[in-house]
Amino acid sequence: MSALHFAIISPFIFAIFVPFLYKLFRKIHTGWFVLLLPSILFIYFLQFISVTRDGDTFIRTVSWIPSLHIDFIAKVDGLSLIFALLITGIGALVVLYSIYYLSKNKEKLNTFYVYLLLFMGAMLGVVLSDNLIVLYMFWEFTSFSSFFLIGYWHEREKSRYGAQKSMLITVFGGLSLLGGIILLYIMTGTFSIQEMVANVGVITGHALFIPAMIFVLLGAFTKSAQFPFHIWLPDAMEAPTPVSAYLHSATMVKAGIYLVARMTPIFAYDQSGTWIWLVAGFGIITLFWGSFNAVKQTDLKAILAFSTISQLGLIMSLLGVGAAALHFNELSENIYTMAIVAAVFHLINHSTFKGSLFMMAGIVDHETGTRDIRKLGGLMTLMPITFTIALIGTFSMAGIPPFNGFLSKEMFFTAMKHIASFDLFNFSSLGILFPIIAWIASVFTFIYSMMLVWKTFTGPYKPEKLAKKPHEAPIGMLISPIILVSLVIIIGLFPNILSATVLPAAANAIMPEFIFDVHIKMWHGVNLELFMTIGVIAIGTLLYLSLSKWSRVYSLFPEKLTLNKLYDAFIPSLESSSNVFIRSHMTGYIRAYLAYIFIFFIGILGITIWGKDAFVLNTENTASIGVYEAILALLIVIGTVTILASKSRLTSILALGAVGYTVSLYYILFRAPDLALTQLVIETISVALFLVCFYFLPKKFHLEKTRFKLTNAIISIGVGLVVTLIAIASSSTKLFPSISKYYEEHTYDPAGGENMVNVILVDFRGFDTLFEICVLAVAGLGIYSLIKLRMTRRKEG
Amino acid sequence: MEILVAILAGFLIASATYLLLSKSILRMIVGTGLLSHGAHLLILTMGGLKKGAVPLVNKEGLPVSDPLPQALILTAIVISFGVTALFLVVAYRGYQELGTDNMDELKGTEGNE
């Protein structure tokens, strides 16, 4: 158990103590205690920068289930480190923010911080595990802690709906990820990611390669809200704002990005380029769709949710494009590696500005009581600090200099521009779409960023629509977003702080083959990217100003065909169709169930006989038919037919008795005296019992009940036929002689009896007899209690 | 001989199946009785119906018919009797409490499935 392992599970351990702290110190907000942990962890993880900067990795292993190749391998490399720093750093800021956001008297803080710590530990586990099964375990931990957090206000129906939706979609993805992990294990025989990367030759070109890739990508796409699985994210906005800021902007939705980045060295070497097309394609679609839909939202958090979706798509497409570098080594300066750097860079930038924007939205909500931009406006003078935060965050999001969003947007355009000239997978035709879509999406990004800031803070002030009288938020609530926007500015002005420390190592973890020499410049000179950015700003401004004129384009698309409506139709229809299915065959009639059993019996045995050609008829070993046997057979047939045809109960009982006695005569003919004796006695008692029951039951069968039924008759004939065929076939094939010779020779010596059947029953196979006695005893007790025990009221008479 | 008894057992089992698929409990129990007869005859047949002597130790060392299936059938007879007796009492009590022996009326309702 190393310090690193302890760091990963420390949030889980701390979560145990949170309820006690909450109960013992009611005066102090529980968040203050919780704040210690992520801060300490953040400082702890900062130490690793010196390790990873030189390209080293830090690995500690704890054995967990060695027989199944499952060990808890904790590994810190450049990529993990960035994520760990984001999780702990933003975690600390979010906890600080939540201390002021959630009131300690109204909310159940103990559960909130327990869930939050569970989530933090799970997320650290995801990014620091090298073993895929352990990674999957933590992955599902994030799924359900996120479920708890979204449904935190569980008395609201929308919260429960959003929680259920995110749960269903992410767990669906999580399970397919597990499938992918198992397929990878089948191919390589290991669960460790580094060993898989070392054995990448085995995986590439394997028959299971594509299925494994698709399963893993399903997991990543559902978690990272890629098209068409993005629908859970806007509904997850029902969670408290600190949760939205933490989970749905900075950490959990990046888990899929992390997985894609981590799996790039495993999957991207394939020559067909499937990985590149899937990741880049879905990423670019998500980028466009998210930004396009963000413009039509009216709720601050909904805009931010769609914005998150589109930014995740941007990072995803960059990862996909970057993977193309592996196939294209002709240029001395491999331009596609730039995309990987851009992806990691934008990931950091997005976490900073999106976290601050969510906190800003929370502050506005807190101070005005609404998040609807149609009711908000003119808050600039009332909330100047919040306005500044929003301004910096949105400008960074829109990609306007001098903020960090501008830099990553530039790098994004560069990467997309180059993909158009990429000709290995015939990008010359389709690849041209990438920069065009990327550019259009950037225009929409610009529009909603402008909406976010101007519609909230400028324009007419509408106090009559607001629940509260707005004023500036308390300083404690502002600390976290201020720190985040300072980061936005600092990274924007001095990007090489990052490029000198964490960026190259992270890019190197994604692409182990390349040497990254990252140097980010603010000014690239006059080139296409610059014009693209200018175009985005110009066109975006025009479109924003004419928003009211063209916003009708959103009503062109029918509401019924949106993915949300499809999901909402799918879940109830799944329920109702399974209900219909169950009701169609689970009728509650025992006859129906018996019919299913018999039909299945006929089917499975009949098909086997027919398919295996198992029926043989061999009469050389059979005994001859005597006249007595024939007469008895006739008697039995007559008795049985009488039972079938009788309308009265008495007749059928007596006929059953007749059949039983005839069977005992058979036993006599076949030289089985004990059987004949037992059969006679038992048949007598049975008939007596039947008559006792008969006395209490109605005298006649209802006429309609004994009517001949063709279906039942066909089923019965089928069953009889199958049994007969099997009996004839098996008696015709004697595979080996009976073991009864042994019993015959040893009955007298050593067993000391003369009646072989009795000696078998009590000597050779006495156990059967013991438990047959038990059966009779239990039946007797059961009958006794059935008759004696009357729990319901007794009827008089 | 074996063929004849196999066909007979098949006939018994077919009739038992038909009775089991009916609506009245009593007919179903009669069906189980027939079913066990058919099964016992089948076991006996499978052991072979060579007419040996009764399976008692004899001085002459004559061949005897197979004792093992007989022991098995003896066990089976007793068990099926116990089960039949229990069934009958269940039917009787059910009729007492519920006032019907019609399986269709004993179907669970929506409320207490």
In chain A, what residues touch B106 (CB-CB under 8 Å)? Answer: 590
Give the residue on A whose Cα is nearest the Cα of B16.
Answer: A716
Distance of CA A182 to the CA centre of its chain: 15
Kindly tell me if the per-residue pLDDT of A351 is higher than 70.
yes
Q: Which long-range contacts (CB under 8 A, 24 or more apart) does A332-336 make?
A: A334/A514, A335/A414, A335/A415, A335/A418, A336/A415, A336/A418, A336/A419, A336/A422
The shortest C-alpha distance from B22 to chain A (Å) reads 7
In chain A, what residues touch B50 (CB-CB under 8 Å)? Answer: 623
In chain B, what residues touch A637 (CB-CB under 8 Å)? Answer: 8, 11
Looking at the partner chain, which of A674, A747, A775 has a beta carbon nearest the beta carbon of B57? Answer: A747
User: Any idea what the Cα angle at residue A569 is, between residues A565 and A570, rounded to 5°?
Assistant: 115
Kindly tell me if the per-residue pLDDT of A7 is higher than 50.
yes
CB contact under 8 A, B46 and A730: yes
In this prediction, residues A32-46 reach a mean pLDDT of: 92
Round to whole Å and give the CA distance between A574 and B49: 58
pLDDT at A744: 86
Looking at the partner chain, which of A659, A715, A756 has a beta carbon nearest the beta carbon of B17? Answer: A715
Range among A242-246, A327-331, A375-379 with highest mean pLDDT value: A242-246
Tokens standing for A293?
């839909």
* Ordered alpha helix ranges (H), A151-273: 157-188, 193-198, 200-203, 209-223, 232-235, 241-245, 252-267
Bridge partner list, A72: A62
The shortest C-alpha distance from B10 to chain A (Å) reads 4
pLDDT at A796: 46
In chain A, what residues touch B41 (CB-CB under 8 Å)? Answer: 663, 666
* pLDDT: which is higher, B97 or A577: A577
CB contact under 8 A, A727 and B22: no
DSSP A396-425: HHHT-TTSHHHHHHHHHHHHHHHHHT--TT
Q: By mean pLDDT, which of A96-105, A363-372, A428-437, A480-489 is the weakest?
A: A428-437
Round to whole Å and give the CA distance between B99 and A42: 75
CA atoms in the 13 A half-sphere facing the CB of A31: 23
In chain A, what residues touch B95 (CB-CB under 8 Å)? Answer: 696-697
Looking at the partner chain, which of A660, A672, A775 has a beta carbon nearest the beta carbon of B79? Answer: A775
CB contact under 8 A, A671 and B51: yes
Kindly tell me if the per-residue pLDDT of A517 is higher than 70.
no
- Percent of the residues in chain A that have a pLDDT greater than 70, as a whole number: 91
The shortest C-alpha distance from B101 to chain A (Å) reads 8
Kindly tell me if the per-residue pLDDT of A332 is higher than 50.
no
In this prediction, residues A527-539 reach a mean pLDDT of: 82
The shortest C-alpha distance from B76 to chain A (Å) reads 9
In chain A, what residues touch B70 (CB-CB under 8 Å)? Answer: 672, 674-675, 757
B49, B97, B109, best to mutate vs chain A, most A CBs in 10 Å: B49
Identify which of A653, A698, A682 has the alpha carbon closest to the alpha carbon of residue A779: A682
CB contact under 8 A, A640 and B53: no
Strand extents, DSSP E, A639-786: none
Interface size, chain A vs chain B, as Cβ–Cβ contacts under 8 Å: 280
pLDDT at A735: 74
A557 sits in the region (left: phi over 0; alpha: psi -120 to 50; else beta) called: beta
Looking at the partner chain, which of A623, A702, A740 has a beta carbon nearest the beta carbon of B51? Answer: A623
- For A298, list phi and psi in degrees, rounded to 5: -120, -5
The shortest C-alpha distance from B77 to chain A (Å) reads 7
Kindly tell me if the per-residue pLDDT of B29 is higher than 50.
yes
pLDDT at B92: 85
* pLDDT: which is higher, A639 or A435: A639
CB contact under 8 A, A743 and B103: no
Range among A284-293, A518-527, A658-667 with highest mean pLDDT value: A658-667
pLDDT at B98: 76
* pLDDT: which is higher, A589 or A136: A136
CB contact under 8 A, B1 and A626: yes
pLDDT at A421: 63
Round to whole Å and give the CA distance between A307 and A282: 16
CB contact under 8 A, B8 and A653: no
- Percent of the residues in chain B that have a pLDDT greater than 90, as a whole number: 42
The shortest C-alpha distance from A156 to chain B (Å) reads 30
Give the residue on B whose Cα is nearest the Cα of A747.
Answer: B57
CB contact under 8 A, A666 and B41: yes
CB contact under 8 A, A705 and B24: yes
Kindly tell me if the per-residue pLDDT of A618 is higher than 90.
no
In this prediction, residues A742-760 reach a mean pLDDT of: 88
In this prediction, residues A202-223 reach a mean pLDDT of: 88
Identify which of B15, B79, B81, B69 has the alpha carbon closest to the alpha carbon of residue B42: B69
Q: What is the pLDDT of residues A559-584, one digit of tens each?
A: 666 778 888 888 889 999 999 999 88
Kindly tell me if the per-residue pLDDT of A125 is higher than 70.
yes
Predicted confidence band of residue B112 (pLDDT cuts 50, 70, 90): very low
The shortest C-alpha distance from B25 to chain A (Å) reads 10
Q: What is the pLDDT of residues B34-55, one digit of tens each?
A: 999 999 999 988 887 776 788 8
Which residue, chain included where needed, has tokens 């009357």?
A790
CB contact under 8 A, A589 and B70: no
DSSP annotation of A77: -
CB contact under 8 A, B81 and A686: yes
Predicted confidence band of residue A797 (pLDDT cuts 50, 70, 90): very low
User: Any idea what the Cα angle at residue A506 is, between residues A501 and A511, rounded to 5°?
Assistant: 135
Q: By mean pLDDT, which of A159-163, A189-193, A506-510 is the weakest?
A: A506-510
Question: How many C-beta neighbours within 10 Å does residue A331 have?
Answer: 10
A579, A586, A590, best to mutate vs chain B, most B CBs in 10 Å: A590
Looking at the partner chain, which of B33, B86, B95 has a beta carbon nearest the beta carbon of A697? Answer: B95
pLDDT at A336: 67
pLDDT at A724: 92
The shortest C-alpha distance from B30 to chain A (Å) reads 7
pLDDT at A222: 93
In this prediction, residues B67-89 reach a mean pLDDT of: 92
Looking at the partner chain, which of A621, A690, A769 has a beta carbon nearest the beta carbon of B88? Answer: A690
CB contact under 8 A, B81 and A685: yes
**Which amino acid, residue B96?**
Q
Give the residue on B whose Cα is nearest the Cα of A633.
Answer: B8
Q: Does A755 touch chain B (CB under 8 A)?
A: yes
Round to whole Å and give the CA distance between A21 and A17: 6
In chain A, what residues touch B18 (CB-CB under 8 Å)? Answer: 644, 712-713, 715-716
A724, A733, A763, A770, best to mutate vs chain B, most B CBs in 10 Å: A724
Q: For residue B63, with 0-12 CB atoms within 10 Å meaning exposed, 13-18 middle and 19 or more buried, which class applies?
A: exposed
In this prediction, residues A20-45 reach a mean pLDDT of: 89
The shortest C-alpha distance from B62 to chain A (Å) reads 11
Looking at the partner chain, which of B3, B41, B81 has a beta carbon nearest the beta carbon of A728? Answer: B3
Kindly tell me if the per-residue pLDDT of A475 is higher than 60.
yes
Identify which of A223, A548, A493, A236 has the alpha carbon closest to the alpha carbon of residue A374: A548
The shortest C-alpha distance from A154 to chain B (Å) reads 29
In chain A, what residues touch B16 (CB-CB under 8 Å)? Answer: 716
Round to whole Å and give the CA distance between A791 and A723: 43
Which residue, chain included where needed, has tokens 């994520």?
A83
Q: Give the dihedral of Cα atoms A617, A618, A623, A628; nearest 10 deg.
A: 20
CA distances from A227 to A187, A302, A731 (A): 29, 16, 65
Identify which of A280, A605, A230 has the alpha carbon closest to the alpha carbon of residue A430: A280
In this prediction, residues A101-116 reach a mean pLDDT of: 85
- Percent of the residues in chain A that have a pLDDT greater than 90, as a whole number: 34
pLDDT at A316: 92
In chain B, what residues touch A695 (CB-CB under 8 Å)? Answer: none
Round to whole Å and give the CA distance between A679 and A670: 14
Predicted confidence band of residue A522 (pLDDT cuts 50, 70, 90): low
- Per-residue HEC secondary structure of A563-583 comes to HHHHHHHHHHHHHHHHHHHHH
- For A702, list phi and psi in degrees, rounded to 5: -60, 140
Q: By mean pLDDT, which of A242-246, A303-307, A376-380 is the weakest?
A: A376-380
CB contact under 8 A, B26 and A693: yes
CB contact under 8 A, B37 and A782: no
Alpha carbon distance, N-terminus to C-terminus of chain B: 49
In chain A, what residues touch B35 (CB-CB under 8 Å)? Answer: none
Alpha carbon distance, N-terminus to C-terminus of chain A: 77
CB contact under 8 A, B78 and A775: yes
CB contact under 8 A, A743 and B68: yes
Range among A553-557, A704-708, A769-773 with highest mean pLDDT value: A769-773
Q: Which of residues 544-603 of A touch B (CB under 8 A)?
A: 587-591, 594-595, 598
Counts for chain A of helices (H) and strands (E), in that order: 35, 2
Which residue, chain included where needed, has tokens 């309702």?
B109
Round to whole Å and give the CA distance between B101 and B24: 6
Q: For residue A573, with 0-12 CB atoms within 10 Å meaning exposed, 13-18 middle and 19 or more buried, which class applies?
A: exposed
Q: Residues A662, A668, A669, A672: is their CA dihedral positive or negative?
A: positive
Bridge partner list, B64: B53
CA atoms in the 13 A half-sphere facing the CB of A623: 20
Element (H, E) at A71: strand A70-76
pLDDT at A569: 84
CB contact under 8 A, B92 and A697: yes
Per residue in A604-641, is it b (16+ CB within 10 Å) or e — as a string?
Answer: ebeeeeeeeeeeeeeeeebeeeeeebeebbebbbebbe
pLDDT at B111: 44
CB contact under 8 A, A622 and B38: no
- Mean pLDDT of chain A, nearest integer: 85
Predicted confidence band of residue A68 (pLDDT cuts 50, 70, 90): confident
Round to whole Å and give the CA distance between A541 and A519: 31
Kindly tell me if the per-residue pLDDT of A140 is higher than 90.
yes
